[in-house]
Structure formats: structure tokens, C-alpha cells
Structure 1
């Protein structure tokens, strides 16, 4: 299809940047401040300290400023670029002259390492400098295109925020290298398109430059992928338009589909959009955890139920079969959950449908925030729904690399967040997602301003010459009232407020007068001539909901999970009475949950107090044992938000609990 020179020409909505949307108070305001003050500086302290991380040192060696060999995983360059993107976002929301100078210095260092043809991969550059054999694209797991994609994204953001061309020029050169591959070495490009950040990146480059060669390059990526005979692990066994189910590595899948959604926004390709919608429904209807976690399996085969055994390929950190959602061994890599946000926000822009904002919220309040400690300085690689003691087999700990796992990790009840992971892809991804989270708050379209997420925003939007500025107050997600006050207005821009899919009996008033609310999972439109001081109040009742799983989700059989508003809860062993173990805890039908203010590691949350049934213990050494003929006793416990688990030291945890009738 022919593109226009207008970015997102075929999208209904355009997200507001930091000039139009900020998290300035409340829940997300606190997360923003923590990201700015703790997370971004803490990651830099790791990347810049050679005793902790080779992140910066690799570039210094590649530039000839130091002597040495490359260290760390081959995707470390991309992880460094992701931190740079987070720091640039911090520069946009909170200007800092010292940080700006550091970023420009880093940009110059990166540009100095890049080859004239645009190739940049510090392992190869360092090997060449050390007069060792270095062949580009020799191994698809060198992640060269992944690294280049993140370089391009960082270069675009650096230019947008500062006006500097230092990293943008490097981004253009990197795109030229990829363009040459697409033209002259398509097989090498397709084989190396692991974790395809470059799909999203070249669309970013097209949008900032208006140069259609980058849009054509995005189309070429799809073409060479479709001509390549690959496997499920990288979603290249079938051409994208023939895919009917999501399989394989969850990060790679979500990045791919996010990049394709970007392409649809520029070309209006209705067929490709229909494919993405079909794949989205496959994930959300059959493969998504209640926490928004994505990618259930550590390892497996896909499709393992197929009669065509010759077509099965090994998968890693992947989506499983429909309804295959284990708890203790749930993988849910932090990067996969973030990738789902990327995919969702692009589908939201394409369609304007609230279902995609619902999923962004589901991920954000649960599996995204669970991946980082409440202090903002320790991280999870995986995000299970259950943690148990004395597990007799090894699971990935936060610091294990994806390619070289630790043979004998410590017991699973010591599986805690860590400040630095040898596989460091997740922490800077978490940082850049949270640093740019204001971009998910609101959008503008031809039919007004859309508010997607709640939690302490200020909005300042213009549409067709009109202006609407709002300040949000209230205690969301703990409180039931979201209040917007108009701080400036010109004209009668329609305001579209998301009514969350989880909500029931929502109500809305403007200056005290009732407004009819649409169904959950939609946007309610308010159209009027706005004036400074107008007050919009959206009330979202938050009864505690007890949820069951699908009949085919075997691990949820006769178990339930608890959610209040968008927040999923869990039970930690720290909140059990002495002598009661996690496997003894059960919920009775009709249990009353009382919201109470609580403190976890110095952070305020709303916990849920309830009386549980305590099941009699069994012989732990027996695979099977007789059911004790004893009535369950009772105990009072507190359930805490899932995102806050694991902040009080080692212990057990479960989202799903047995149901006692």
C-alpha cells in the first residue's frame, strides 16, 4: 500500500508525549519519581562500573579507549541502549543539564564505534580491533539486529528530546546497514532477526524523518521473514499472514506483532491488521495470566500436540498451548510482559478500542510492577504466580543468563529480586517502560481526548485548535473516585473516559450532574463547552472479586484468585500464622475481604484482610496420602498486591488458592 507522509496516517489515536501528559501525583506519580530518582541512576551505576557490568566498558574498548576483550552476553549493547532511552525520557520529563551532557558524551562514544557502513556490534568490533577473526551475522544468537534496533530507537528519542543529531545520524547509518542486508543478504537478515526490535525502530525513524525509505525497509523486513524457512521459536515457520496462533519465544512474538502494528498504522493494511487481531485474541483469550504475564513456558515444543512431528521446533521462554498456564514454573519474562504493552498500545492507537487499554492496565499494575522491587532497585527476570519452598528442580533465578543458566541454583525460596542480572535485558527495559509510561496515559484523535489510564495524571491536549487541560486527583487504584478538574480550556473538545472492563456499576458526573456511562470495556464520551474549574468525577466501585479459571486451565481447577479493581492479590507466607504453611491455606466460598491500609517495606498499599480455612497438613514425603478426616480450622490473614510480593525477604507466595465449600 502507498503510505502518506503523515505519521500514523491510518491510526485513530496518537499518544500524548511529555508535553501533553505527565504523571504528577498519586500512584503513577510516585512510580515516576522512583524511576527518576532511583531506577535510572541505579542502572547507570551498574552499567558504568566495570566491577559490576561490562556495559560501558565494552564501548570504551571498542572505541580504543581501553584494552581488553568483550565481556557479557551478545545483546548487552541493546541493553545499554535501552537504559539510554530511559535516561533520555528522564531528560524530557525532568530536564537536567548534567544528565544531558552525559547522554551527549555517551552518544558520541557510541557513534565513534560505528563502522562506516552502519554496522555496530561491540563483540565484533572488539575482535577486529584485537586482530581476531570477526564475522558479522555469523550466529543468529549474536542479536545484532536486536542491538541495532535499540540503537535506532534511542537515536530517534535523543533527537526528539534534545535536537541533537549525534545519535540520530548513527541511527540512520544503522538503518542503511539493515537496508543493505534486506537488498543483498536477505537470508542473513531473516536468520538474524531475533527479538525484532528493529521492526518498531525503523518506523520510529520514518516518523521522525519523514523519509519513506525507512517505511519501505519495514516492509522489506516482513518480506524477507516470509521467505525464510525458520521455526516456531522466532515466529518464522509461517509467513505472518498465515499465522493463526501465537507460539514460540514470547518476547520475540510480542515485539514482532508490535512492529507489524506500527506498519499497519502507516500503510492501512487491513489484511495484516486482521491477522494481528486474530493473534491478539489467541493470547488474551487462552494464553494470558491473570496478572498480565505472557509466555508461560521455560522450554518446550510448539505445537507439541501436532501430528506433524517434523514441523515441531524447540521453543524457549515461550507461549505454550491454549490454557497451559502453570503457576510455580510460570516464566513470564519481564521483557515479554513489556512487549505485550508495546503491542497493546499500538493496537489501541489503531482501533481506539478500550480492550487494549484494559490489558495495558492489567500488565502495568501487576506483572510489570512485580518485576521491580518497591525500592526501585532490584529486579525479577521471571514473574511466577506461585513460589514454594524446597523445590526439587532448578528454575531460572533473576541473575541466570538465558544462554548459560547456572547449573545448581540455590533453593527456590531464596529466589529474590537482584540489583544486577548477568542477563541484563529486563532491568533497562523496565526502566524505559516506566520512564515513558506517561505516553500511555492519554491520546488524541479526531473525536477528542482519550484518557486511557488513571493514577495521577495531568493532561494538556489540543485538537483542531481547541484546548483541554486537566488535573487528576483521587486515590486510584485504591480509591473508587477518579476526579478530573479542568485547569484550562478553549472550545468544546470531546472527552473520552475509559470505563475499565473489570468494572461494574460505574457512575459519572460533571459539576455534580449525572452523565450516562457506557458499558465496561468502552469509552464514555462527554461533549460540552468546557470551562476552567469544571469537575468530572468517575466513580468505579471496587468490590473484591473472587475469580475462577477456565475449565481447561488445569492448574486453576478448584482454585480461585482475588482481585480488587485492577490489582491482583496474593498470599505470602509472611502473612500466615506461625505453624501454617502455604499449602494449608484455602478460601471458603463467601469469604468476606476487608480492605485495610498496610505497609510493606516502607511503602503504603491496600491489603485485604480475610479469614481463611486452614487445611490439615499431610505427609510431605508421600506422593499421595489419605485425606485427613478433620474439619479445617480458621485463621485471619492479609492478602497483598501481587506486585508487592517478595519485598520482605525469602518466602512463599501464591496468587491462586484452593477453594473450600
Structure 2
């Protein structure tokens, strides 16, 4: 069973399921296969092995199948549900009886732990079994509503794919518990509404059941948040949602909140709230988004920064900083925050049909999202820096560090690598569920036809009153500029909308060799005709290498540039420098040329860029300040690799931004 995604009352675009769109070949086909064969099963291996992770064991303890105490962070339940969602998405694209049976058994285990009132939080349930005095919702950092939100989402997806109501019933009970809080204990709900996955979740439950009770519940969440007077910027609850003009605080919490609000708007058509979300989205994209699509520059800080009214300043954690505050080495850019920006952007895309949102989805997908998982598909980053250097005189959080003491101590900062299991395990299953469901981001259907958003090897087959259109995409995107769609089956004249990326100039399209008009960058080109099997649509997206500068207020970008080709951002790794040359000596030349070359790293085929770089003189013994060296400059050949591929060749240094010499 697979249920076609429900319509959104006020959205222009409708999502597709795995029967309508899938990644069958090419770049994303390879990522899909890797996610299916490596990422999803390896995460299960970790979660189900008590020597590695308490993920599964905590549910067994809560069910009374084993004895012991809860281990791990309080949000571990939510991480387990995210893996369950990823495995369910894998089941949708690649049916597997053994996996289906396993997921059903897990669903039954989860449901068996749930209290009669719908509350489910294994730390509390285990403590109660051990006759400990414990109070639900006593601490907002117990993440109960976050966990319940992910439970609801997992329950809906499992029902959509398998037809099983086991976890769907648990989802309904969880929503009932949240409803009781919202109506009877709104203060407790507001205090606990941290990292608000439950906003998106109850809307998904509404779409699955068509029960308006859940839509009203989402509206109540907003009212409860707006009435809360104990909040701060960290959780975006210092001021009412509609009064927010800039994005501040914890980046994951912000992106989840605004994605959930966009879901609500898709059902209510609230124009005022739509305007708020557009303003906030632009605040991130125009002033706070890394070139890699990373979100949330700061490990810790205060917001609003420099405000003269001290009473309005609150501590922030893993957060968006001030406008244009984009450090390189200490960039936080948590993987979950970057994924949250995909969630927010794809909902804004569905609302408006505006290609600018797809541009950001693509920017994140090809850079920070893929960079957060190894090329092998089995190791992960929690943070996603834009520069990695040796011998830092301070510690940076390791991928899985929760901020508590670690024994043994972390390795030197220049040896930070992706890890298979992180003590803070929120990101890996989030990466897995995003990639496992990435077929949903290939295309959408609207009242005006088919919109193709991303390229990379899709099969698409849709139909509506205007007809049917089945397409096969063959391309080597993002490495090569030609994308070819062959009509596999057709009837009628369903309009086809092909996205022209915002980075692209001079796009050309033909149908059966005849040129057709193409709109400008950052739009969708509309092609309408009576389609027939065998028709060929060819889209050419020129990919010259671009050398990009930063805004004048982005201080760390001064006199530095970054290199991008197509949607892919590039980086220099010390692995590609000759002996005796240090990363900080390398500068790019103004007007330099870049030659695309095919390479392989850890079995992955990639396109690198070869160029000549200038080697700056360096006084290795200089202190904080020193005289400019007058030694002559010299040149060397160098190679830049896709940012998402860095860190797959062992410890080393890396930088996206490099000095520019004239």
C-alpha cells in the first residue's frame, strides 16, 4: 500500500509519491542506492546494538522486556523515530518483506510503551518502572514534545506506505495528549515546545485522517506560543510569531518552527503569516546562509547582538548570529539545521511555486547535506565547518559531543572526521530520512502541470485532467550541463515546467531538436504541447566556473573568494597540496582558469577543478602580528574538490574561502 500525498488546500504544488517520482539512475540514483544499502541499515545496526547505542534498548526497558535504567540524551526517542521514518521511506521505494516485518514489530513495541493518555517518553516510563519519583514535562530540555512530534510523523508515514494502523493509532493518541496540554496545561506545553517537530507532525496527521481536530490543534500551538511570556530567542518564543522580523536563536528550532507554520498556511491560506514567513526566509537567505547552505553560524552567543536594551538579550545555542556573521573555522551549521531549511524551503515552494526556494534546496542538497555524510554513506558530521585548520588553541565540539566531558578527550581539532555513531545522534537519522525520501523533492504537480525541480536521474509519471506524462531523465548532472528527458508514455497536453537554476545564465531547451523559448535564471520554463511517446526534451544548463565574493559586512570573507560550478561549491584540501605548502599560503589568482577533471575519492566519481594557485610567503615563527614578507610569489598547480567530498581521505585541512591575489 502507498497512499498518494494529500492535497494542500492553499498550496500551488502537490507532492508526488514513489510511484510517481523516483531517482532511478545518475547522481541521485547513486545516492538513493547508497542510502538504501548502507545508510539506513548501518544506522539500524548501531541503534539495535546496546554496545553502541541505547536507541532500541530504551524501548525494551520501557516495555519491561529488560531491566535497567535509561541511557542517552532525552531526545533519543525522536532519533529512533526518525530512523523508523527513513526505513519506511526505503520500504516505499524498495519493497522488502524482511524490513516490513521488522518495522511492524518495532511499531508494536513502541505502541506497547505508550501510556493510556498518549504520553510516551522512555526516560519517564523507565523511571516509573524503577519506582523512581519522576514528573513528566518537568524540564523543557527533556524534549518530550519533540519526541512526540517525530512519533506522529513516523506513524503517519508508516500507515501511508504499509497500511498498518499500529503506529498511526499511537500517533493519534500522542496528538490527543498534546491537545490535552494545549487546552488544559498551556503553560506546560509552551515551556516544553522546544525544537517543535510537533507543528509539522499534527498537520501531517490532519492530512492523513482529514480530521480537522488536528488542524485546530496546530492553530492552538501558535496561540499558546504567542501567549507565552517566559520565552527567549533561543526557542523563538520571546515575541509573538507574527511580530518576528529577523531569525534568531537555535537554528534547528527556528527552521522546524517556520516549516511547521508553512504547513499550517498551506491549509489555512493565512496571508499575513505567509508574509511573515517570506520575510524571515529572506532574512536567512540574504544575510545568514553559508554558501554551502549551512544554517546557524554560532556554537553559542547572545541575541539580539548589541541591543541597547539589555532585558531583551537572551542566550542562544547552536544559533543564527547577527546578519553577515559567518565564521569559517568555527561555523556550527548543524546538519539538522540545514535539513530544517530544506523542510522550510520546500513548504514555501509548495505555497508559491517560486523557483527561488528550489534554488536553496539545491544549494543545501549538493553541499552541506551531502557533506554531512561520508562518501561511503556510513559516517556523519554534526557540525559542518567551512574551514578546517591544524593546531587550534581551543577545542571545538566534535561531531557527537553533547557539550559534556568526554573521556578520552577529543583528538586535535585538525583530526575531526565524520563518525559512525555520535553521542548526540539527532543528525544521522535525520540525514537518512531526508535522503531516503529525496524522491519527493524531484518534482511536483500543480493545476498547471508538472514542475520538475531537481535534476539527477529521475523517472516521473503523473496524470491529471490534462493528460498523462511519463518522463525518463538521463543526465550526468551536476557534472555536465545537458539534461535529457525522454517521454516514455503520454496522452494529452500536460504542461511541463523545467527549472532554470538561479546560478545559470544562457539556458537552452529543445523539443525533438527544435528550440523552444526559455525563461530567465531562477524561474520555471513552461513547455506545452501534445506529448507523444518518444518525444525528447533537452535542457542545456551552461556551467562555467564562478568565482564568488562575499558581502562587505561579512568580515571573514574580506579579500577572499569561493569557487562554484553549477550547484556545487568547491574546497581546497591539504591532501591536494605538495609537501611543504600549507593551506594558509594558497591564494587564487584573479582571472585564473579552472579545468574540470574527473576524479575518484573513496569509490565515488566526482568532477574536480584544476587551476594554478599563487603560493604566498610565510613566516612560520611570526606572532600575532608580523611584517609582510617580501619574498617573491610563486605558482603551483592545485586541485579543488567538491565541498561535500572533503574529509574522506583522512585527517587534513580544508577551506572553502581562499585569498585572492591580483
In 2, Cα distance between the equivalents of 1:108 and 1:385? Answer: 43
- Post-superposition Cα deviations, 1:195-240, rounded to whole Å, max 9, x if no partner, equal 0000000000000000000000000000000001200000000100
Residue 433 (structure 2) aligns with: 432
**Is 1:593 aligned to residue 594 of structure 2?**
yes
Where 1:618 maps in the other structure, the secondary structure is coil
Asked whether 1:205 is paired with 2:233, we answer no
Instruction: Quote the residue 1:626 is aligned against.
Output: 627
Q: C-alpha distance in 2, partners of 1:303/1:465?
A: 51
Aligned equivalents of 1:156, 1:147: Cα separation in 2: 14
Q: Distance in 2 between matches of 1:6 and 1:64?
A: 38
Q: How far apart, CA to CA, are the structure 2 residues paired with 1:408 and 1:516?
A: 60
After TM superposition, give the deviation of residue 109 of structure 1 in Å: 0.1
Q: Trace 1:326-405 onto structure 2 (pairs within 5 A).
A: 326-401=327-402
What's the CA shift for 1:409?
Answer: 2.5
Partner of 1:88: 88
Match of 1:564 in 2: 565
Which residue in 2 is equivalent to 1:100? 100
What do the CA deviations read for 1:289-316 (whole angstroms, capped 9, x no partner)?
A: 0000000000000012111111100000
For residues 92-119 of structure 1, give each alpha carbon's deviation from its aligned partner in whole angstroms, at most 9, with x where no partner exists. Answer: 0000000000000000000000000000
Residue 653 of structure 1 corresponds to: 654
Contact persistence 2:6–2:208 (CA under 8 A): no
SS at match of 1:609: strand
Match of 2:578 in 1: 577
**SS of structure 2 residue aligned to 1:285:** helix
Q: Is the 8 A contact 2:372 2:384 kept in 1?
A: yes
Q: Is the 8 A contact 2:7 2:14 kept in 1?
A: no
Aligned residue for 1:300?
Answer: 301
The 1-side partners of 2:52 and 2:16 are apart by: 37
The answer as to 2:267 corresponding to 1:266 is yes
Aligned match of 2:240: 239
Distance in 2, matches of 1:210 and 1:407, equals 52
Match of 2:159 in 1: 159
Rounded Cα–Cα distance in structure 2 between residues aligned with 1:253 and 1:6: 26
Q: More deviation in 407-416 or 196-205?
A: 407-416
Task: Name the residue aligned to 1:215.
Answer: 215
| Structure 1 unaligned spans of 5+ | none
Give distance in 2, aligned partners of 1:619 and 1:100.
Answer: 59
CA distance in 1, matches of 2:343, 2:144: 21
**Partner residue of 1:171?**
171
How far 1:403 sits from its partner (Å)? 6.2
Q: State the secondary structure of the residue aligned to 2:490.
A: strand
Is the CA contact (8 Å cut-off) linking 1:400 and 1:406 kept in structure 2?
A: no
Q: How far apart, CA to CA, are the structure 2 residues paired with 1:449 and 1:101? A: 35
In the alignment, is the contact (CA less than 8 A) between 1:402 and 1:423 conserved in 2?
A: no
The CA deviation string for residues 252-293 of structure 1, in whole angstroms up to 9 with x for no partner, is 000000000000000000000000000011000000000000
- Counterpart Cα distance in 2 of 1:216 and 1:402: 38
TM-score by length of 1: 0.98
Residue of structure 2 in register with 1:250 after alignment: 251
Shift of 1:466: 1.4
**How far off is 1:7 after superposition?**
3.7
SS in 1 for 2:627: coil
Tell which deviates more after alignment, 550-559 or 625-634: 625-634
Cα distance change on mapping 1:337 and 1:555 into 2, 3 Å:
same
* 2:40 alignment counterpart: 40
Q: Secondary structure at the match of 2:338?
A: helix
Query: Unaligned regions of 5+ residues in structure 2, if any?
Result: none
Matched position secondary structure for 2:200: helix
Report the counterpart of residue 502 of structure 1 in structure 2.
503
Partners of 1:265 and 1:406 in 2: how far apart? Answer: 48
Aligned position for 1:520: 521
Residues 466, 493 of structure 2: 8 Å contact kept:
no
**Partner SS state of residue 34, structure 2:** helix
CA distance in 2, matches of 1:620, 1:171: 62
Equivalent residue number for residue 77 of structure 1: 77
Partner of 1:68: 68
